[in-house]
Every structure is written in C-alpha cells, then in structure tokens.
Amino acid sequence: MSDSASKLVRVQVRFVGRVQGVGFRATCRDIASGHAVTGWVRNEADGSVVLEAQGSAEAVEVYLRAVEATMGRFIGSAARMGLGVVVDERRFEVRR
C-alpha cells in the first residue's frame, strides 16, 4: 500500500428514514464533488440508502457533516462502520 493510501479511511453509512424518492443519492453525489472524497451511494431494497466515502479522515468527516446538514430532515438514523480502503478509486458515483 502506498504511503498516501495508508492515510486514507473508508466508512460505510446506512441511512434510514425518508431517504428514497427525495433526491438523496444525487445530493450526496453533488456534495461529494465539492469535497476530497471518493465512493458511492445506493438505494437498498429495504428503503434505506447506503453510502461509502473514502478520503482523509478529515475530508470524510466534513463530507458526512455536509450530507447530514443538507439532508438531515429526511434521516431518521444513520449507522456507520469502518471499511478497508479501496485502492485506485477515483470518483464518487451513484450506484443502482
């Protein structure tokens, strides 16, 4: 693992609430374009939305705070867990 990759963190957050049908995924992608993060966001069959974000610890935290500040009115709860870094990931995307 390169030195820069060793400084990256990756988190997964499962958002529950009224998070589908309100532009949640597109908003997460748009917010990511203004932050130094990569990853993806996807609707789940159970009505939740799963997001994975990767970057420096600070960039990920700032990004997730921006998502919560913008979309918080739709979020009932959010469960977070750390993941291994995805090497060579270059962008943030909406997955289907």
48-85 per-position pLDDT tens digit: 999 999 999 999 999 999 999 999 999 999 999 999 99
Catalytic residue among 10, 14, 25, 29: 25
Question: By residue range, what is the domain housing residue 62?
Answer: 8-86
Annotation marks residue 43 as catalytic: yes
More confident site: 6 or 35: 35
Annotation marks residue 80 as catalytic: no
Instruction: Note the pLDDT of residue 3.
Output: 55
Instruction: Note the pLDDT of residue 4.
Output: 57
CATH number for 40? 3.30.70.100
The answer to whether residue 17 sits within a structural domain is yes
User: Quick count: other Cβ atoms within 10 Å of Cβ 47?
Assistant: 12
Sheet with 38-43, side-by-side order of all strands: 75-83, 9-17, 49-55, 38-43, 92-95
